[in-house]
Structure 1
Amino acid sequence: MTRKPSTTLIHHPYRAPEGWDAVPVPVAKASTVLFKDTADLHKPRPRDGLSYRYGLHGTPTSYTLAARLATLEHAEHCLLVPSGLAAVTLPSLAILRPGDEVLVPDNVYGQNRYLTESWLPQWGVTHRFYDPLTVPDLRDKTKLVWLEAAGSITLEFPDLLGTLAACRARGITTALDNTWGAGLAFNGFEPAPTTHPGLGADIVMQALTKYPSGGADVLMGSVCTRDRKLHDRLNHAHEHLGYGVGQNDVELVLRGLSTLQLRYEAQDRVTRQLASWMAGRAEVAQVFHPALPGSPGNANWLAVGGAGAACLFSVAFKPAYSAARVDAFVDALQLFGIGYSWAGPMSLAVPYDMSRSRGLPLPFDGGTLVRFAIGLEDVADLQADIAQALSALA
């Protein structure tokens, strides 16, 4: 039977040969997934990465990325979500029920704080913010404890070992935001396996937007677990919330994974140099960077191995410098973009008024804070740029 071109273009017989292979992972895009026959259609399919029902739940491309991220995080299971924020909301929405309490560090990512304060109370979930450098007070109704290592903006490194051990003893689920560590700085499931085996988090999430992508061009997140029952609970919420990801974005993250460790180590090295140099400047009251002695939580960072330390450091300028003058300093920077996110190729700088986003006392006395995200530029060029911009403070 002769078919019209429109039909032939859709039902063309060509298929790539089985044995074809290449370094890049092929991009499999789909909304509709075809079944061999009705028996195949009716057959139950687990969400195991080996069978498919609908493109929203995954394709061979996205399951490949999920498997590689699970390996990176020392996990057994991984779910992909469309943003880092979605990776924050998924555990809270999947686990918490009316009457439950969630504990959140006071230096948590701002959108997690907003979710906790503004959305969860509508569903009968209460919350408390705790000092990240101490083990929080746990209660019978506490069902989820968030940890962030290091904390957002002020970069205090929490007492991971103490908090995780306390929660494990009480049977309380823990969720760790490991975006800063990127699966490289420490094992989120076993922070210190030789001295504290099994005291890791139950859930480890990342904003893949940051290090795994590395190109400042993708929004995506991951939620990893070791426990199958917990994964199934997360997966149930994941499916019904419609948390799908685009396969072209998956392709970009897969490409970024190849250079993840190289970029992480290069940016870490330059960040430490600049943070140490800034700590000696007369204009600076304090520099926040977990690897710097005296930075809040430095001992906690050393306790989990003291290895990688990412691309971020924050500077609290002395109170004599007004917010307007600090803004002028940021505007005078020539090699630092002004924008959110981090771990991309371009260095960034953003000033913050921390009084608007914290409830507990700040880890510094007054003054305006600037968070630097170091990219892949030459360290001497970045230092010279900061030095010339500091004249704007005078």
Structure 2
Amino acid sequence: MADSTTTLIHHPYTPPEGFAAPQPGVFKASTVIFPSVAAMRSFEWKDKTAYTYGLHGTPTTYMLEERLCTLEGGLQCLLLPSGLAAIANVALSLLRTGDEVLMPDNAYGPNKTLAEGELKAWGISHRFYDPMNPQDLEAKIGPQTRLVWLEAAGSVTLEFPDLCEMVRLCKARGVITALDNTWGAGLAFAPFDLTPQVSPTLGVDISVHALTKYPSGGGDVLMGSVITRDASLHMKLKLTHMRLGFGVGANDAEAVLRSLPTMALRYRTHDEAARELARWCQTRPEFVQVLHPALPDSPGHAHWRDLCQPGPGGAAGLFSVIFHPKYNETQIDAFCDALKLFKVGYSWGGPMSLVVPYELASIRSGWPAHLKQGTLVRFSVGLEALADLRIDLSQALQTSLT
């Protein structure tokens, strides 16, 4: 009879099949056990027909990938340890020395930093285009352009571009498009079906999503995804993913799986509150401009209205304000510090409201003509009561700027 220690490791008991519960099971593994050497040699992880090693997928990660495909309308999904890792996976899969990547001037800051750092060092050039001018994008697409990044809405300043026209231009030139779809979250619009009323429909080639935000919903998970509809493009991305050793933890995957069923409800609630607070801010003399795609005078509102549903659920819980130029940095910092419910912190999509002041001149090629002069502050609206958030903004304005 085997020693009890050995028996504990090689225990013969197997739970009965057929267990079902609202939440899927969590499988943690680096090593995956094969029934035989022949099976080990024949099992294939690339098409998800089997399991070979924890880094290449488990039932938990496969489940999350498939649900995210359903959310965004894609066919293949890769999970990565952060949204930035997802962006990097796209760049490292598709760009080589001598290639060029174009990105909007309002792109996510770390994406721009990646281009200015590692990509430049590897001989990959980049240029920024005006996100509100498709003709500027068209003029900058050159023979070395291999990838165009898109954002809707833009980072920090929340301009909404003519996404359909930009995708058309890129497809006409044979250039791959990658959309940072974190703001839309697969709910505000369908990235692979931008023109569902037209056949064939128009869509991006790649949708990148920081699952850190709305899919997680708790402000406690770092994860990203890369979703495609093209099998050959997906395999190119997947092989880079494999070679770089990207993987996500089972408990993090579980956390996102648990949050996905409530995401649409949370997204709608964030959206409703952000719109109300943005409209309230328009009545305040301290602000010279309020930026939210659903506001009629916000840059790109017409493009947002054409692409997204106009009611709640058609926009994220973000808005930005530009303070009157008479207020200096010290005063605006004091305003942010005076907020009690809005906490100073990066990211968004969690239950807690957040605020961050930005030096816009340091993160743009030049001051956009559609933005008024002043200091910009971005708000991420959480799930607190709307009335309490309005009171918090009001008291902070009164105590810091008067």
TM-score (norm 1): 0.98
> What is the CA-CA distance between 1:44 and the residue it aligns to?
4.6
Cα distance in 2 for partners of 1:346, 1:54 equals 37
Corresponding position of 1:162 = 165
May I ask how many residue pairs the two structures share in their alignment? 393
Can you list the C-alpha shifts for 1:277-318, whole angstroms capped at 9, x where unaligned?
Answer: 101110001011011011111111112134411100000001
Which ranges in structure 2 are unaligned for 5 or more consecutive residues? Answer: none
Corresponding position of 1:139 = 142
Cα distance in 1 for partners of 2:45, 2:332 equals 54
Q: Equivalent of 1:333, from 333, 336, 339?
A: 339
Residue 387 (str. 1) matches residue 394 (str. 2): yes
> What is the CA-CA distance between 1:20 and the residue it aligns to?
1.5
Cα distance in 2 for partners of 1:165, 1:360 equals 27
Residue 347 (str. 1) matches residue 353 (str. 2): yes
Residue 255 (str. 1) matches residue 258 (str. 2): yes
TM-score (norm 2): 0.96
Can you list the C-alpha shifts for 1:130-151, whole angstroms capped at 9, x where unaligned?
Answer: 1111110211211100001111
Cα distance in 2 for partners of 1:381, 1:191 equals 37
Whether the 8 Å CA contact 2:34–2:40 is kept in 1: the answer is: yes
Whether the 8 Å CA contact 2:45–2:52 is kept in 1: the answer is: no
Corresponding position of 2:86 = 87
Cα distance in 2 for partners of 1:16, 1:376 equals 40
1:1-394 mapped onto 2 (5 Å cutoff):
2-135=1-134, 136=137, 137=139, 138-195=141-198, 197-307=200-310, 308-362=314-368, 363-391=370-398, 392-394=400-402
Q: Choose 15-24 or 310-319, whichever is displaced more.
A: 15-24
Q: Choose 248-257 or 9-18, whichever is displaced more.
A: 9-18
Whether the 8 Å CA contact 2:45–2:56 is kept in 1: the answer is: no
Query: Counterpart amino acid of 1:122?
Result: A
Q: Choose 110-119 or 132-141, whichever is displaced more.
A: 132-141
Whether the 8 Å CA contact 1:192–1:303 is kept in 2: the answer is: no
Instruction: Report the 3-state secondary structure (helix = DSSP H, G, I; strand = E; otherwise coil) of the residue aligned with 1:285.
Output: strand
Whether the 8 Å CA contact 1:285–1:318 is kept in 2: the answer is: yes
Whether the 8 Å CA contact 2:150–2:177 is kept in 1: the answer is: yes
Cα distance in 2 for partners of 1:113, 1:370 equals 20
> What is the CA-CA distance between 1:16 and the residue it aligns to?
2.0
Aligned-pair Cα RMSD in Å: 1.1
> What is the CA-CA distance between 1:58 and the residue it aligns to?
0.9
> What is the CA-CA distance between 1:361 and the residue it aligns to?
2.4
Query: Counterpart amino acid of 1:286?
Result: Q
Whether the 8 Å CA contact 2:184–2:316 is kept in 1: the answer is: yes
Q: What stretches of structure 1 move > 6 A for 4+ residues in a row?
A: none
Which ranges in structure 1 are unaligned for 5 or more consecutive residues? Answer: none
Cα distance in 2 for partners of 1:57, 1:6 equals 30
Query: Counterpart amino acid of 2:331?
Result: R
Cα distance in 1 for partners of 2:200, 2:173 equals 17
Cα distance in 2 for partners of 1:114, 1:197 equals 36
Whether the 8 Å CA contact 1:109–1:152 is kept in 2: the answer is: yes
Cα distance in 1 for partners of 2:27, 2:242 equals 19
Cα distance in 2 for partners of 1:44, 1:4 equals 33
Cα distance in 2 for partners of 1:6, 1:285 equals 71
> What is the CA-CA distance between 1:196 and the residue it aligns to?
7.2
Cα distance in 2 for partners of 1:329, 1:170 equals 47
> What is the CA-CA distance between 1:23 and the residue it aligns to?
1.3
> What is the CA-CA distance between 1:46 and the residue it aligns to?
4.0
Cα distance in 2 for partners of 1:198, 1:96 equals 27
Can you list the C-alpha shifts for 1:42-91, whole angstroms capped at 9, x where unaligned?
Answer: 11514223311100111000000000000111000001001111111111
Q: 1:350 to 1:176 in 2, by over 3 A?
A: same
Q: 1:174 to 1:149 in 2, by over 3 A?
A: same
Can you list the C-alpha shifts for 1:368-387, whole angstroms capped at 9, x where unaligned?
Answer: 11100000001011001100
